[in-house]
Structure 1
Amino acid sequence: MMSVRQIARWIATLSCALLIPLAAQAQEDDGEEGPRVVSEIHSALPLYTFDWEKFWPRSFHEQNRFGCRSRVNFGDWQFTPTNKNMAQPSWLRFRNYGVFHCAGIISYAGERGELDDPQNDFEYGFFAVIDTITIDDADWELWVIQEGTRTGSDYTLMTRKASEERIDSFQILQQICPQDKILEAKNMDVWRTAYCAINSQEDLVSLAREMALLPHAGILTRIPEPEQSNPG
């Protein structure tokens, strides 16, 4: 069984590998001063709600129709790391919660077939466009997966070229936290407690914009359901 934070931990591992030339500027979660690679970006309360226009899934009402819709396609998504020597591909399933109360049901697994395991962990979550950025004369959208509601939310930073199409892929960004945003308990022996405490939209956007300029950690792509063969 895979926890909902597994991809974030792999991103942290990949960030360390990608940042070998920048080791003096960014350290893994090891107590060093300066920016650090973290496995979790967390806010005390969700930073984005249905007041945010570009927040999905969200409700719609059209004449005699109503329900929940999303710019991000539901289904099974595969995370492919940039450095396959540092992490293995993994899977995410994004399902619709319902028609009256909108949310995504997000679960993770190492193999696609494990997503069907009823014992698999899941979390309620949402996708949001939080900003845009221009890189090499191209416009990119900055996205997050926001997971969790009570006790706050965890964030995965992502980007994609700006368009109005339904979405089937993202680039997953690295997670390098400024020193002044790191929370960590001391004297915990080998047990790691550090995470990146981001408690405003402005701080999350600032971090995402910085990460968008670095090599990405991997690709998240929706994989269609396998075609069912007809019995002979």
Structure 2
Amino acid sequence: MEWLEANRLMVISDYHRAFCETFGRGDVSLSNLHSLRKRKGWATGRSGHFVKGEAPHNKGKPCEPGKGGRHPNARRTQFKKGQTPHNTNYLGHERISTDGYVEISVEERNPHTGYERRYVLKHKWLWEQANGPVPEGHALKCLDSNPLNTDPSNWEPVPRGVLARLNGGRFRTTLAYDEASPELKPLVMASAKLKHAAQTARKGSPS
């Protein structure tokens, strides 16, 4: 007991090893000595916390075969060198928005996060690549009512005031564009534009 008290400040692993070697006590475990120090109230002056900059005791030591990160179950789910996660959002990656539109990752800085890429509406991005910016006060309308068809020829810029009419009007008293058959869609579009132009003219505003 005198030896144990005299050497109580040793790190527990060294404390245990030295005790076993000195007295040939292979039957005493590390936890036995740890519990003894607690019962006796032998403070070591250590909190048990890592000190900033302190190297872990197992730094540079590989796991034993079949244990830890080298266990077969762990190996099976580890990333291999050069492997990328299945949800990596690479340049050109596409996804479907909650509104049903295709979004594409483009090389354009995200104003909200500062990241080098951002998602934009693919149909708008392609249309502007071919035709320039969408005119002010206008929005792109899908001509075949299939938002997944992002070909620029399938989208037409229309005044925002026309969109409400294409949806059936304020009280949905007319046939909505997206509900019309392919044969009637041009007629619904022309009617909405005509009504919008007439209303604009009555207000004396430029069309």
Superposition TM-score, scaled by structure 2 size:
0.20
Q: Which has the higher contact order (CA 8 A, sep 6+)?
A: 1
Structure possessing the higher radius of gyration over alpha carbons:
2
- Structure (1 or 2) with the greater strand fraction: 1
- Structure (1 or 2) with the greater helix fraction: 2
Superposition TM-score, scaled by structure 1 size:
0.19
